[in-house]
């Protein structure tokens, strides 16, 4: 059905344009020229595939969060929170503690994840499996709790237990165990020496949330009534039998377990620490890889900042961005950047030029399917310096050009009929205060094909906040001045 509609519109369609030809000049400058250029540039070159994907991630984040929140995620509001954020990266993973007023858990231990946008920590508790969100308001409290000496000792105990996981460990233990006999059950005091220590977690990941310890004892023995020694009795010792409390504090039973298996712990401790280090390294490497494609502040400094001077923009790309492809944009795309800044300069000359540009951009983007528009690319291709959008003139002269291309009839019909042109002239006169259309000597250079055709950039911008202020803050962070 869409194919048929497009086919009919291609040959017989009427012009589509914004209602009443009403444009927000400030926002249109950003969306129709600046942001469209960057989106089209990254989409048009295979060289920029990863960059385009990464930029879209940033756009999605800012669309969801708003740029003010995005800025707060990038720049901590004060030094204490900034330091707490840094320290939280070293704590990310298992064996994190947080006693929350909002979420109750028997142990308050769990695994912590970090989300950058919005910046927040999420702890999934081992026992209740409830989660608690830690934002900037309480991140300092989280770090302080995990720096307390008793918490540090408890974390060490948990990691020592991880060393004993799935190992046969020594643990002298006696328990009254019901023994099945031919006549029923009888209770006997059974002595145990060793068993396999297990830690139950919520998935196969050794560092997932969940930390339920048990000891599968299997060498129990006792003396029967007739003096016979019975061996091979099995029993599963629970956490209470091992002296493991809800706060993982030091107990005689737990110390016995550790002291009796010191060799195993000493042998596996470096491995556990290495695996934790690898986990942190993997997380940091993933985040660093994203930054090496395109920095987080590119959105504020460049994409959402159409007021940035060219020299400042190029300095940011070459000195701050880590991706060589992005660093080379000022050189690789020099002619296209010339065209970009030509368009901005033209747009800023006079409100009438802004309206003139927006009208023809509106026509070009919304009506590219119409054959008479597509076959007159020299007039409507926004990447071409010959496009009507860059050559304001008296309306009567414009009508003559349109008539010469069969886009308008001498009687006021056609695509650019009197209804369209009368509204256009009315809005243009208002922009000129009923004075003649100003003349300009600014020449807008051509760009590479398809650099001004992204249809996403014709409507309401994704973010509409004060970009000058935010970009200044970002540049301050960049330059240090």
Nearest CA-CA partner of 139 in 123, 154, 151: 123
> What pLDDT is recorded for position 179?
86
> Are the C-beta atoms of 179 and 187 separated by less than 8 Å?
yes
CB neighbours of 389 closer than 8 A, spacing ≥ 6? 356, 357, 359, 360, 361, 364, 382
Chain centroid offset of residue 370 CA: 38
> What pLDDT is recorded for position 350?
94
pTM as predicted = 0.75
> What pLDDT is recorded for position 442?
87
Q: Which regions in the chain score pLDDT beneath 70?
A: 1-12, 182, 455-481
Chain centroid offset of residue 239 CA: 40
Tokens 């208002």 found at: 430
> What pLDDT is recorded for position 467?
41
């Amino acid at each position: 059905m869409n194919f048929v509609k497009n086919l009919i519109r291609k040959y017989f369609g009427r012009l589509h344009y914004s209602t009443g030809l009403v444009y927000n000049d400030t926002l249109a400058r950003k969306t129709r020229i600046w942001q469209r250029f960057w989106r089209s540039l990254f989409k048009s070159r295979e060289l920029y595939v990863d960059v385009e994907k990464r930029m879209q991630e940033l756009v999605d984040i800012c669309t969801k969060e708003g740029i003010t929140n995005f800025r707060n995620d990038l720049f901590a509001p004060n030094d204490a929170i900034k330091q707490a954020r840094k320290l939280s990266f070293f704590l990310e993973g298992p064996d994190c503690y947080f006693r929350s007023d909002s979420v109750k858990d028997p142990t308050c231990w769990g695994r912590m994840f970090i989300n950058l946008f919005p910046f927040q920590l999420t702890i999934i508790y081992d026992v209740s499996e409830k989660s608690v969100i830690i934002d900037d308001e309480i991140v300092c409290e989280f770090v302080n709790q995990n720096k307390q000496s008793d918490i540090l000792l408890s974390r060490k105990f948990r990691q020592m237990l991880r060393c004993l996981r799935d190992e046969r460990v020594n643990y002298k233990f006696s328990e009254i165990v019901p023994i099945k006999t031919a006549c029923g059950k009888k209770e006997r005091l059974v002595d145990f020496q060793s068993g396999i220590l297990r830690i139950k977690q919520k998935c196969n990941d050794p560092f997932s949330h969940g930390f339920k310890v048990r000891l599968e004892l299997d060498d129990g023995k006792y003396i029967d009534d007739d003096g016979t020694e019975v061996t091979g009795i099995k029993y599963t010792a629970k956490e209470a039998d091992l002296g493991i409390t809800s706060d993982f504090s030091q107990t005689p039973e737990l110390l016995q377990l550790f002291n009796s298996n010191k060799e195993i712990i000493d042998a596996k401790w470096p491995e556990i620490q290495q695996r934790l280090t690898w986990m942190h390294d993997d997380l940091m490497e993933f985040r660093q890889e994203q930054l090496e494609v395109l920095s987080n502040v590119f959105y504020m400094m460049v994409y959402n900042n159409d007021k940035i001077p060219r020299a400042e923009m190029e300095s940011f790309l070459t000195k701050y961005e880590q991706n060589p492809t992005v660093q080379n944009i000022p050189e690789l795309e020099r002619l296209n950047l010339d065209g970009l800044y030509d368009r901005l300069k033209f747009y800023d000359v006079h409100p009438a030029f802004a309206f003139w540009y927006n009208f023809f951009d509106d026509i070009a983007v919304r009506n590219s399917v119409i054959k008479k528009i597509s076959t007159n690319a020299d007039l409507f291709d926004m990447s071409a310096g010959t496009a009507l959008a860059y050559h304001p003139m008296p309306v009567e002269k414009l009508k003559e050009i349109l008539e010469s291309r069969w886009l308008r009839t001498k009687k006021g019909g056609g695509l650019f009929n009197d209804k369209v042109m009368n509204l256009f002239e009315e809005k243009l006169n208002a922009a000129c205060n009923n004075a003649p259309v100003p003349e300009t000597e600014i020449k807008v250079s051509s760009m590479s094909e398809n650099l001004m055709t992204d249809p996403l950039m014709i409507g309401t911008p994704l973010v509409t906040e004060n970009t000058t202020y935010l970009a200044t803050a970002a540049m301050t962070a960049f330059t240090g001045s």
